[in-house]
Amino acid sequence: MTNSYYPFINTPLSYDYSALEPYIDTCTMHLHHDRHLQTYIDHLNSALKDEPELQTLSLEQLLTDTNRLPHRLQTVIKNNAGGVYNHRFYFDGMSGQLSRPSGELSVAIDRQFGSFDRFIQLFRAIALAVFGSGYAWLAVRDGRLIITATANQDTPIALGMCPIICIDVWEHAYYLKHQNVRAGYFDDWINTVNWPMAEQRFEECMLKYK
């Protein structure tokens, strides 16, 4: 189900709340999707409620065509459209099926980072180093894979990058199961990455450079 325009709805997960057990617990998935993401959706809808011109913009346009937004709404839209975009991207990028990178993405990871294991090490270090709340990303910038981090609900698309995978490192993503131990969360989360989805996203990102 896609829902790119106002009114935004909380599209269901493409898997069961318990599908990511034992890595991501069912209770966290309920709270994270049904409460945290819902709050961003509600706040975004409320910011757009009386703005018919903005209601014609897609979620991605709200984040990237920011000069079309009135100044008074720029922050609230950046934070809440960002919260919707980032959470949907995070949830869609996980799966209960264990997988590994393959195809062109696997080749690009080896070329850029040396090996898959080295990539995981680097990605882990960036995710653990995020100060406060934010996300770590594998993304394409200028036709190359990069690992980067964003603060709060900033999005890579607003920074000119094309995202492949992300880990939400806000504490609400892991506190119930891992308390304050972000490293334990990362080591669980890496088992949930939907690599076939990542590969599809990578191919779409690279089309922009062909």
Binding site for Mn ion (CB under 5 A): 168, 170, 173
**Alpha-carbon distances of 178 from 90, 171, 181, rounded to whole Å:** 18, 9, 5
Position with the least CB separation from Mn ion: 168
For 27-161, where are the E strands, in sequence order? 134-141, 144-151
Residue 113 or 137: the one with the smaller Cβ distance to Mn ion is 137
* Cβ contacts of 42 within 8 Å, gap of 6 or more: none
Minimal distance, residue 37 CB to Mn ion, in Å: 7
Minimal distance, residue 32 CB to Mn ion, in Å: 6
* Cβ contacts of 20 within 8 Å, gap of 6 or more: 29, 94, 95, 96, 192
Q: How far apart are CA 97 and CA 28, in angstroms?
A: 19
Residue 25 or 168: the one with the smaller Cβ distance to Mn ion is 168
Residue 170 or 185: the one with the smaller Cβ distance to Mn ion is 170
Minimal distance, residue 38 CB to Mn ion, in Å: 11
Residue 138 or 173: the one with the smaller Cβ distance to Mn ion is 173
Minimal distance, residue 53 CB to Mn ion, in Å: 29
